[in-house]
Every structure is written in C-alpha cells, then in structure tokens.
Copies of this chain bind each other. A is one copy, B any other.
Amino acid sequence: MSKTHIEISEVGPRDGLQSITPIMSTADKKAWIAAEAAAGVREIEVGSFVPARILPQLADTAELVAFARTIPGLTVAVLVPNFKGAAAAVEAGAHKITIPLSVSETHSLRNVNRTHAQMLEETARIAELIMGRPEAERPKFEGGLSTAFGCTLEGAIPDATLLRLAEGLMAAGCDEVGLSDTTGYANPAQVKRLIRLVRGAVGEAAVTGVHLHNTRGLGLANVLAALDEGIVTVDASLGGIGGCPFAPGASGNIVTEDLAFMLEAMGYETGVDLEALIAVRQQVQAALPAVELYGFTPESGLPLGFAQGQGWGASV
C-alpha cells in the first residue's frame, strides 16, 4: 500500500527570521537550509525579496536562493511583496514564488501599503513577467490569501471577499492560491469550509497548500482538517519561530518538528527523518541563543519503539 506524500514546506528562514530581532548570519542560514534539506525536507522558503531597510534580517535572500538551488531535489521558495521583488526572485532562480494578498484590506494597507486592486494589478504584472521567461525557467507562482480566517484589525472576513480575491489571483495568472491563517484565528471546521469554498470557485487543483499558525494551540488540529480535505502541502517553521510582525498578537507558526511527528506517526510519507530534524533544531537554537523555540516533540522525544517510516499505532 503506497503512502500519501505530504510536503512539509519549511518557512522558518523567511517567516521565522523576519519576525525576530537577531539577524542570523548568511553562513548559519545556509547551514540551516542544508541540514534541513539533508533531514528530508524538500521545500524551503529561504527568504523574501523585500528592501533591506524594511527587513534587514532577509537582505541575503538572493544569495540563499543561489545556494539552495545547488541542493538536489530541493524546491526553493521565496516570498515577494511586489513586482520588483518578483523580478529579483525570478532573476535569482527561485522555483516557487508566493505573493501574499491580505483578504483584509486594512491588513494589506498596513502590511504592504497597497489596496486589493493594486495587489491584483501587481500580481498580473508578475505573471506576465514569468510567462515571458523560457518555460524551463518559470517558477511556480502562488497567491497567498493572508488573513483568510479573520484579521486582528477587521475581525471576520466575508466569504464574498475571499472568493473575489481567490478568483482575482487566478485570473491575474497565479498557478495556485493558498489559504493563510496569518492571525491564528482558524478552527478545523472553518478550515474545511473555506478550502471547499475556495476550491468551488477556482478548482480543486488550484488549492493544494495551507499556511496555518498555532497562535491559539489549534495549529495541528487545523492541519488535520486540511489533510481531511486533501491538502498536500503544509507550511511550518522549525521551532515554531515567527508569525507575522505586522499583525499584532499574531505569532506562532506551526512547529515543523511536531508536524513531522504527527504526519509520520499517522503513516503519511514526508521524507523527513525525525531524529535528524531535531538535530537541525539544536543547530538553529545554537545560532539563535536568545530566541525561544517552541514545540513539544523535541522535549518529550519519540515514543519508545518508534521507527522511522513505520508510523505508530497501526494494527499490532
């Protein structure tokens, strides 16, 4: 019986490092990316193409893309806030580019100083840029629907707004849209409902990934709900570092270590070696001694007799 593969997309080097004060050296970032790829993580968001004056923590993104591209089998992902960032990302050779579009317009203005209309226009320009490249050099282009589950500034977001923007991103030329729980407001029932809703508008194949937070402790329960809907790519951050620095009170990515344990224990195939992943955590902690890491599995260890790739608790 073949296992279902779930892609763990590590966003720590981007979403994690942008949210903390200490600036990790480029050498430490490369060591992190290399070690986590060696532990079996096959997609890593290595940075964001934003001006260094806004996020000095991520100023070396181009160099990290170039480095990460040398790792066989690794999908090198980046975030871009606008056309200029996307041009730099394409130039650097990123495999996957995500532009966040906040479903809350208030948050969009606060985060990138742009309206919905401006963001969709920017998205269309980026898509045009990508389509102008030779086919082999075109990165996958994803629109990330931020604050999809609610906003700390606006509260609940109407379905109609979410659908209009999902359709707008696809019409502008995105290959996919992803649902992002920027604020940690999501619950499992809502995750299921919104995945179905958005898929109903843009098609099942256009919604394969989620970016969920653990702000209220529901992160993995929300992942479970997404898996039930057939989602196959789940973002997480090593040690749970990060969140969104522009949404007050919205911290706490899903912890990669706990996510990988859950998926492997359930019998999904992630490609990730748990012991090796926990060693990467120690490496990152050593590089960021002042930063508090989250997660339970690294503290408690793996169950007695747990064997990589065997799952846990299937019939014995």
Give residues in A with beta carbon < 8 Å to B. Answer: 149-159, 183-190, 193-194, 214-218, 220-221, 223-225, 249-252, 255, 258, 261-262, 265-267, 295-297, 300-301, 303-305, 311-316
What number of copies of this chain does the assembly contain?
2
Q: Which listed residue (B154, B187, B223, B303) contacts A185, Cβ 8 A?
A: B303
Contact B218 A262 (CB under 8 A): yes
**Taking the nearest CB of chain B, how far is it from the CB of A87, in angstroms?**
36
Contact A184 B304 (CB under 8 A): no
Q: Which listed residue (B217, B249, B251) contacts A255, Cβ 8 A?
A: B217
Residues of B within 8 A of A255 (CB): 217
**Taking the nearest CB of chain B, how far is it from the CB of A49, in angstroms?**
30
**Taking the nearest CB of chain B, how far is it from the CB of A101, in angstroms?**
19
**Taking the nearest CB of chain B, how far is it from the CB of A213, in angstroms?**
10
Contact A300 B150 (CB under 8 A): no
Given contacts A194-B313, A221-B224, A224-B221, are A304 and B154 in contact (CB under 8 A)?
yes
Given contacts A221-B224, A224-B225, are A216 and B313 in contact (CB under 8 A)?
no
Contact B189 A249 (CB under 8 A): no
26 A–B pairs (Cβ distance < 8 Å), ordered by A: A149-B313, A150-B313, A152-B303, A152-B304, A155-B304, A155-B305, A159-B315, A183-B303, A185-B312, A186-B313, A187-B266, A188-B224, A189-B265, A189-B314, A190-B265, A194-B313, A215-B300, A216-B258, A216-B300, A217-B295, A217-B297, A218-B265, A220-B220, A221-B221, A224-B224, A252-B300
Given contacts A154-B304, A217-B295, A296-B216, are A193 and B261 in contact (CB under 8 A)?
no
Contact B185 A150 (CB under 8 A): no
**Taking the nearest CB of chain B, how far is it from the CB of A5, in angstroms?**
16
Residues of B within 8 A of A252 (CB): 296, 300
Q: Which residue of B lies closest to A312 (CB)?
A: B187
